Chain A
Amino acid sequence: MSEFERRDFLKFTTRALLAASGLFGLGALGRFLNFQTQSPPQTVFDLGLASEYAVGTRRVLPEIPALLIHNEDGFSALSLVCTHLGCTVEENTSGFVCPCHGSLYDDAGNSLRGPAGKPLRALTVETTADGQLRLLLN
């Protein structure tokens, strides 16, 4: 084995070890930074008495954000989070429009135009035994 081959081998080994320890350190950093200190976001919202929402009304609940619909078939709800990149859509005359990238939805939440493609998410609404309304995000 000539002198140069041995030097090349040592050089290669040194670099491989350095790269490996670098990757190892990066993985360790990822584990360190990945710890979640925030409590998970709220998924159940109490909306008060069901009787306070008259039949035939639609009400925006900005803190969720969602739209609560009460018609002859009962309660239903639409998420107002744009399915493209998560901005809150705004109501306009014929449906909903996203302020960020212009996605358009009809008033039932179906995607009409723009980058979103998917309809607004339907949320579960349930009425408890004592007449309280509850909205579930999942």
Chain B
Amino acid sequence: MRPNFFHHLHPPTIPAQQSRWRYTLGAGGTAVFLLLVLVVTGALEMFYYTPTPDQAALSVQVISYHVPLGGLVRNLHFWAAQLLMVVTMVHLARVVLTGAYGPPRRFNYLLGLGLFVLAILLNFTGYILRWDQGIHWALVVGTNLLKTIPLIGDTLYEILIGGSQPGPATLIRFYAWHIFGLSLGAVILTGWHVFRVRRDGGIAVPPPLLRRDEARITRYELVRREVLAMILTSAALITLAGFAPAPIDAPIREIAATTSDASAPWFVLWVQQMLKWGDPFLWGVLVPLLVLLVLALIPYILPQPHEGELGRWFPRSNRLARWVLTGIGALVLALTVLALLSGD
């Protein structure tokens, strides 16, 4: 068989243990595929979306209800974005719970964390682009949080919002960040992240001297597995898009009608719950940044996973890192559940 372009993106053969589903969960590769889906469906949406306060919500309605297959395109974009959040969380958890972040992969771990932050920012800016009543309070709260940062808060607010309150300049800025600034950053960082996987010697497995495993798979087999993952992901996306349409609401009118739903997007519900406790700078800015800092420091300050234990889940040597991640995950989950319960 003559290798085609996609085969050539892979090494001729790789150790079989680097590509077992039960080890990698296929999460990183699925995230790359979802990014591709987001770029394509996002590009299609750009043909109809109008980034002005008067037209934005109406143009979203036009895409959703009038353009042939427009609803499908928008729902696919929405669900690919939500799945990307889930898949990147799974990917991060896999890397920590298998201890795969140790040297020489510490830098790539940081690149991955940067991509996770970009995914959150892209999801939030995309949500705001709806510019309908459903996003109104998330926009007000999210941007007012910036103002609570000492010294630089006001300047940061003006730079991101383009005025002293959300308006036309804000929408065009969020649009520019969403479709260009953040997206370009995500594509470049993804390329770098994937390149570093190969540069660092592939997916983390033990050195051959410590635990020998001769089995290798060819790139044909690897591409076959990747295509299988893409087909399964596509099936999930199409099912979700068909049965659960992306949220939409009435346009924001001049007169601020009382909005029925004041809950934040699902991935920041835990922050919304903490904000009910008081000081917005502490709970809304410092604590989330602290969580990010702890995640970033895992490969640098916690005990290193032992080389001989790589390639398996839950190595004994990185027990502390696993507990830290589990603790953070449990807290975020508990706060999210609390927010969901109090919302009803």
Contact = CB atoms under 8 A, between A and B. Distances in A.
B244 interface: no
B165 A37 contact: no
Contacts of B226: none
B280 A115 contact: yes
B19 interface: no
Given A86-B140, A99-B137, A117-B278, A65 B256 contact: yes
Contact of A100 (B164, B255, B272): B272
Contacts of A40: 163-164
Interface stretch (B154-162, B185-193, B205-213): B154-162
B4 interface: no
A95 to B, nearest CB: 15
Interface stretch (A11-19, A28-36, A123-131): A28-36
Given A34-B158, A41-B165, A114 B256 contact: no
Interface in A1-59: 30, 33-34, 36-38, 40-41
A136 to B, nearest CB: 16
Interface residues of B, number: 31
Contact of B255 (A41, A62, A115): A62
Given A37-B162, A62-B256, A99-B262, A85 B140 contact: yes
Nearest to B255: A62
A134 B159 CA distance: 32
B277 interface: yes
A108 interface: no
Contacts of A38: 162-164, 167-169
Interface residues of A, number: 24
Contacts of B342: 102
A73 interface: no
Interface string A104-120: 00000000001101000
Given A34-B155, A87-B141, A41 B275 contact: no
Closest 7 CB pairs of A and B: A38-B163, A99-B262, A86-B144, A101-B276, A33-B159, A85-B141, A115-B278
Interface of A: 30, 33-34, 36-38, 40-41, 62-63, 65, 84-88, 90, 99-102, 114-115, 117
Given A38-B169, A85-B144, 20 more contacts: A36-B158, A37-B168, A40-B163, A41-B163, A41-B164, A62-B256, A63-B255, A63-B256, A65-B256, A85-B284, A86-B144, A87-B262, A88-B258, A90-B258, A99-B137, A99-B259, A101-B272, A102-B342, A115-B275, A115-B279
27 contacts: A30-B159, A33-B159, A36-B158, A36-B162, A36-B164, A37-B162, A37-B168, A38-B162, A38-B164, A38-B169, A41-B164, A62-B255, A84-B275, A85-B141, A85-B144, A85-B145, A85-B275, A86-B140, A86-B144, A87-B141, A88-B256, A99-B137, A99-B258, A99-B259, A99-B262, A100-B137, A100-B262
